[in-house]
């Protein structure tokens, strides 16, 4: 089994490495060579020449491949096979063909026997094996025999052939298995209940083989091809059959068999030159059972919309992820106390009690040491000269990374103070971090003492904790934590919250920049020195209890990696350019994996999505970083006034919303052109200020130059005179402008 196939010197490389099929076992199970069978070997000559135009050298790649083609779709007639068979000359093949009849009738084995002869003539090894049928019937007319025969051939046949090859693959630590399912199995098809069940069963078999084979470097994937054949000629027009050539399917199979392909457990539809991957999706659902109460169909009916709502849907990829939700539900139900007529009354009242509660001021002291440890924890290294300003306290531009702002905030929450908030029943050993928002009002100092104002809010299945961080009396940064607490459900809030900073999906285009960074095996051990002592990130046994095969990286560590990627890519590592960041934590990262940050620039907002490079799994989504413009602060004098307005809203937001109840838009011009837009929202939540236009229609919008705005603010220009002189333009309800006095009374006469 060590023969080689060396194409001519004219063949050119299409893969980054050479590929010589020294295949220990290519086992292909199908009923008819001429109708479906080993169509992997029966491709058109012209496509074959393209397929084999790899730059084969004298190196040999040892492979073990098993292709189970069991859904009669990608057939080509035998006369098209010879050259493609040549590419498998060094393979050990099992060629299956029951006969010429698509229902299994006929005893001719000539088709398969001829293929075997051609493979042997090229120096390969092949054995003829004959099997597969279709028995299409409507469900009412399906007999026991129709059902059993289909399952014995399609499903049990795949099991038998795979089992025969399995130990060979294990022993050589390599294998590639391709199951051929069908769209009939994925979606169902009239008259094919037996066939559909067997085909979807193949996918279930493949998923388990992918799990069991992973540690032996055995990958198992499933394809659901659409291809023209004698089977489809009766249901497809001739031109469609012609367009569904098998050469539009086989390249996917070849790639999935390649040793460089890391895909495992995937399901792919393929046909006509198109390939798409399928995955499971699960709604957030709704808990309809409560402690000491009977679960009723009426409760299911009443919450049906929530059960079927795919907003913020999960995409589980393992049984552990699937069971995690059930475990959380059981914990939530068990934690409910007493019995009430309204199952959510107790939890809802507790949440209402917690809303708006504030902790007594606390403090956090730090020095340059903590800043440096944090920078190392999020992957900064002296290998990059730009990083030295964050790692060496003697550097002339020594600075603190902007995302260090989460550390004092986390200390304020984790020191036990939140336990004293009425109605906020949180066990932080059971907290799942959902989202994080951080906004800086000035660059962070490299040492000092911070004080905090902490407030708690709620939304459905989550607690929102807001933390203002002060240096003296000056507001330095604001954090918003969205946490999901196992066993503390039934918060009774809305699915979304007007207090929560919104996630923003990235633009629908290729990223403008991509940065990849490797984490180290000890990344979590290093990051935890910044104050997150959760044993989930260091203790293997504790991680196993959480369903993880190893301790996982802190979500805020990935958060720090992504933020500094943006800072380097778009701000030249200038921390004064950093304004804010928002992320959602999607999946865990294992220390040692590589983080890949994709970035889309839209003005001063950088949309980001962070993935694990090795698995392509998204770990941070809906994320963005807002930067200050390069000339911001010096370019427009009004920036300082709006910054102060923002601080006032942070401190007095709820009170201002009650008094004002309006949204104000501002367009600040410079040299006759719009230079900045601001929105003061004093209508929803606790109020907010953000740079940019309002997403809806503002109650009143002002247009004024930067110079005239400052003249009005300083009392040098009467706003009425400015209005009649055309220096101040107003759209909307002009009477609303009088309410601005509430927030501008110390600065303006508006």
Q: What is the pLDDT of residue 349?
A: 37
Domain co-membership, 314 together with 425: no
CB burial of 83-103 (b: ≥16 within 10 Å; e: otherwise) equals: bbbbbbbbbbbbbbbbbbebe
Q: Is the pLDDT of residue 672 over 50?
A: yes
Q: What is the pLDDT of residue 42?
A: 29
Q: Is the pLDDT of residue 39 over 50?
A: no
Domain co-membership, 621 together with 645: no
Strand order in the sheet with 274-278: 65-68, 175-180, 218-225, 267-271, 274-278
Distance CA 277, CA 263 (A): 11
Cα separation values, 372 from 67, 393, 404, 516, 532, Å = 53, 8, 10, 22, 16
Determine the straight-line distance between the first and last CA of the chain, rounded to whole angstroms.
88
pLDDT 10s digits, 187-233: 999 999 999 999 999 999 999 999 999 999 999 999 998 866 655 55
Residue 284 lies in a domain: no
Dihedral, 351, 354, 356, 360 alpha carbons, nearest 10:
-160
Q: Is the pLDDT of residue 747 over 80?
A: no
Q: Is the pLDDT of residue 558 over 70?
A: yes
Looking at 278, 308, 325, the residue that finishes a domain is 278
Q: Are 116 and 78 in contact (CB under 8 A)?
A: no
Q: What is the pLDDT of residue 685?
A: 84
What is the average pLDDT across 624-653? 78
Distance CA 684, CA 653 (A): 10
Distance CA 679, CA 686 (A): 14
Distance CA 132, CA 153 (A): 5
Query: Of 44-58, 346-360, 515-529, 659-673, where does mean pLDDT reach its minimum?
Result: 44-58
Q: What is the pLDDT of residue 112?
A: 62
Distance CA 408, CA 85 (A): 66
pLDDT 10s digits, 440-499: 988 999 988 766 666 666 555 567 788 888 877 678 889 998 877 654 444 444 444 556
Q: What is the pLDDT of residue 519?
A: 97
Higher pLDDT: 130 or 116? It is 116
Q: What is the pLDDT of residue 347?
A: 34
Domain co-membership, 518 together with 619: yes
Query: Of 68-72, 263-267, 477-481, where does mean pLDDT reach its minimum?
Result: 68-72
pLDDT 10s digits, 296-338: 898 899 889 889 988 888 888 877 677 667 766 766 666 554 3
Q: Is the pLDDT of residue 740 over 60?
A: yes
Q: How many domains does the chain have?
A: 4
Q: Is the pLDDT of residue 704 over 70?
A: yes
Q: What is the pLDDT of residue 16?
A: 28
What is the average pLDDT across 520-530? 95
Q: What is the pLDDT of residue 230?
A: 55
Residue 90 lies in a domain: yes
Q: What is the pLDDT of residue 340?
A: 28
Residue 4 lies in a domain: no
- CB burial of residue 429 (10 Å; 0-12, 13-18, 19+): exposed
Distance CA 332, CA 352 (A): 18
Q: Is the pLDDT of residue 128 over 80?
A: no
What is the average pLDDT across 567-591? 94
Catalytic sites, residue numbers: 195
Rg (CA), the chain: 32
Domain co-membership, 579 together with 464: yes
Looking at 569, 601, 627, the residue that finishes a domain is 627
Q: Which residues pair with 440 in a beta bridge?
A: 477
Q: Are 579 and 626 in contact (CB under 8 A)?
A: yes
Domain co-membership, 77 together with 148: yes
Domain co-membership, 553 together with 690: no
Q: What is the pLDDT of residue 667?
A: 92
Give the other-Cβ count within 10 Å of 499's Cβ.
21
What is the average pLDDT across 489-517? 75
Domain co-membership, 204 together with 257: yes
pLDDT 10s digits, 592-605: 999 999 999 998 99
Domain with 255 in it = 21-278
User: Hey, is 123 helix, strand or coil?
Assistant: coil
Q: Are 23 and 88 in contact (CB under 8 A)?
A: yes
Q: What is the pLDDT of residue 657?
A: 86
What is the CATH classification number for the domain harbouring 118?
3.40.50.720
**pLDDT range class, residue 125, cuts 50, 70, 90:** low
| Mean of per-residue pLDDT scores for the chain | 75
Domain co-membership, 389 together with 503: yes
Residue 25 lies in a domain: yes
Query: Of 241-245, 341-345, 413-417, 579-583, where does mean pLDDT reach its minimum?
Result: 341-345
**pLDDT range class, residue 74, cuts 50, 70, 90:** very low
Q: What is the pLDDT of residue 398?
A: 94
Cα separation values, 748 from 393, 498, 524, 639, Å = 42, 29, 50, 15
pLDDT 10s digits, 428-438: 545 678 899 99
Q: What is the pLDDT of residue 238?
A: 72
Residue 3 lies in a domain: no
Cα separation values, 36 from 72, 189, 371, 598, Å = 4, 19, 64, 42
Cα separation values, 689 from 326, 465, 680, Å = 40, 19, 5
pLDDT 10s digits, 156-167: 988 988 998 899
Domain co-membership, 305 together with 367: no
Q: Is the pLDDT of residue 20 over 60?
A: no
Q: Is the pLDDT of residue 515 over 90?
A: yes
Most confident of 284-288, 370-374, 448-452, 472-476: 370-374
Q: Phi then psi for 240, rounded to 5 degrees?
A: -70, -40
Q: Is the pLDDT of residue 749 over 50?
A: no
What is the average pLDDT across 374-382? 96
The percent of the chain in helix, strand and coil, each rounded to the nearest 5, is 35, 25, 40
**248's tokens:** 């539009």
Distance CA 667, CA 321 (A): 48
Q: What is the pLDDT of residue 451?
A: 67
Q: Is the pLDDT of residue 687 over 80?
A: yes
Q: Is the pLDDT of residue 623 over 60?
A: yes
- HSE at residue 69, side-chain half, CA atoms within 13 A, is 36
Cα separation values, 467 from 331, 488, 667, 681, Å = 28, 21, 30, 20
Cα separation values, 30 from 44, 100, 160, 244, 449, Å = 19, 12, 13, 19, 73
Q: Is the pLDDT of residue 15 over 90?
A: no
Residue 15 lies in a domain: no
Dihedral, 574, 580, 586, 592 alpha carbons, nearest 10:
20
Domain co-membership, 242 together with 315: no
Q: Are 559 and 403 in contact (CB under 8 A)?
A: yes
Q: What is the pLDDT of residue 462?
A: 60
Domain co-membership, 544 together with 447: yes
Where are the alpha helices (H) located in 394-446, listed in sequence order? 406-414
Q: What is the pLDDT of residue 12?
A: 33
Q: What is the pLDDT of residue 197?
A: 94
Angle CA 646–480–604, to nearest 5: 60
Domain co-membership, 456 together with 335: no
Residue 285 lies in a domain: no
Strand order in the sheet with 688-691: 688-691, 673-682, 662-670, 700-705, 728-732
What is the average pLDDT across 573-584? 94
Residue 106 lies in a domain: yes
Looking at 627, 653, 686, the residue that finishes a domain is 627
What is the CATH classification number for the domain harbouring 434?
3.10.129.10
**pLDDT range class, residue 375, cuts 50, 70, 90:** very high
């Amino acid at each position: 089994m060590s023969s080689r196939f060396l194409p001519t010197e004219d063949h050119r490389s299409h893969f980054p490495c050479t590929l010589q099929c020294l295949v220990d076992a290519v086992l292909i199970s199908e009923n008819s060579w001429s109708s479906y069978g080993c169509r992997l070997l029966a491709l058109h000559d012209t496509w074959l020449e393209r397929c084999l135009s790899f730059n084969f050298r004298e190196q040999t790649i040892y492979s073990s491949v098993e292709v189970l083609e069991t859904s009669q779709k990608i057939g080509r007639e035998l006369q098209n096979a010879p050259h493609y068979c040549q590419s498998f000359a060094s393979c050990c093949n099992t060629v299956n063909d029951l006969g010429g009849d698509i229902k299994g009738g006929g005893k001719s084995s000539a088709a398969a026997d001829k293929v075997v002869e051609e493979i042997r003539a090229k120096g390969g090894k092949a054995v003829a094996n004959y099997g597969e049928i279709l028995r299409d019937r409507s469900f009412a007319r399906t007999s026991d025999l129709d059902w059993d025969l289909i399952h014995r051939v399609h499903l049990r046949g795949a099991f038998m052939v795979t089992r025969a090859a399995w130990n060979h693959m294990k022993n050589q630590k390599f294998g590639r298995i391709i199951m051929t399912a069908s769209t009939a199995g994925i979606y169902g098809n009239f008259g094919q209940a037996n066939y559909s069940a067997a085909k979807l069963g193949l996918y279930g078999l493949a998923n388990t083989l992918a799990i069991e084979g992973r540690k032996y470097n055995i990958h198992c994937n499933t394809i659901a091809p659409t291809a023209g054949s004698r089977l489809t000629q009766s249901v497809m027009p001739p031109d469609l059959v012609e367009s569904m050539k098998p050469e539009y399917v086989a390249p996917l199979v070849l790639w999935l068999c390649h040793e460089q392909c890391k895909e495992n457990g995937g399901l792919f539809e393929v046909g006509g030159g198109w390939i798409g991957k399928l995955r499971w999706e699960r709604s957030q659902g709704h808990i309809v059972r409560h402690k000491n109460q009977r679960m009723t169909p009426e409760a299911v009916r009443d919450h049906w919309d929530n059960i079927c709502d795919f907003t913020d849907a999960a995409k589980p990829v393992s049984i552990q992820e699937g069971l995690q939700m059930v475990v959380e539900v059981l914990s939530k139900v068990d934690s409910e106390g007493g019995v009430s007529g309204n199952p959510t009354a107790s939890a809802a009242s507790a949440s209402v009690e917690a809303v708006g509660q504030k902790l007594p001021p606390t403090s956090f002291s730090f020095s340059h040491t903590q800043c440096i440890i944090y920078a190392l924890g999020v992957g900064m290294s002296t290998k990059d000269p730009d990083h030295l300003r964050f790692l060496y306290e003697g550097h002339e531009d020594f600075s603190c990374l902007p995302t260090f702002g989460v550390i004092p905030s986390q200390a304020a929450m984790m020191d036990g103070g939140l336990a004293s908030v009425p109605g906020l029943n949180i066990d932080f050993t059971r907290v799942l971090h959902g989202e994080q928002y951080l906004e800086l009002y000035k660059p962070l100092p490299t040492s000092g003492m911070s004080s905090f104002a902490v407030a708690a809010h709620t939304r459905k299945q989550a607690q929102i904790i807001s933390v203002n961080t002060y240096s003296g009396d000056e507001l330095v940064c604001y954090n918003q934590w969205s946490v999901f607490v196992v066993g503390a459900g039934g918060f009774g809030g809305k699915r979304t919250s007007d207090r929560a900073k919104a996630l923003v999906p990235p633009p629908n285009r290729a990223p403008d920049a991509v940065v990849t960074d490797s984490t180290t095996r000890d990344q979590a051990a290093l990051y935890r020195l910044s104050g997150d002592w959760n044993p989930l990130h260091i203790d293997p046994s504790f991680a196993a209890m959480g369903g993880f095969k190893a301790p996982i990286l802190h979500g805020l560590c990935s958060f720090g990696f992504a933020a500094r990627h943006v800072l380097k890519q778009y701000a030249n590592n200038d921390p004064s350019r950093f304004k804010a960041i928002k992320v959602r934590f999607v999946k865990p990262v294992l220390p040692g994996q590589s983080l890949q940050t994709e970035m889309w620039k839209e003005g001063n907002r950088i949309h980001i999505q962070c993935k694990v490079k090795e698995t392509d799994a998204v770990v941070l989504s809906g994320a963005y970083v807002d930067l200050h413009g390069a000339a911001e602060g010096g370019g427009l004098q009004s920036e300082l006034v709006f910054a102060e307005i923002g601080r006032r809203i942070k401190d007095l937001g709820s009170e201002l919303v009650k008094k004002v109840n309006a949204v104000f838009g501002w367009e600040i011009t410079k040299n006759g052109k719009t230079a900045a837009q601001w929105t003061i929202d004093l209508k929803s939540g606790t109020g907010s200020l953000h740079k940019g236009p309002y997403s809806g229609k503002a109650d009143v919008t002002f247009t004024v130059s930067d110079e005239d705005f400052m003249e009005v603010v300083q009392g040098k220009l009467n706003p009425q005179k400015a209005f009649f002189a055309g220096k101040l333009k107003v759209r909307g309800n002009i009477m609303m402008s009088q309410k601005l006095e509430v927030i501008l009374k110390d600065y303006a006469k508006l």
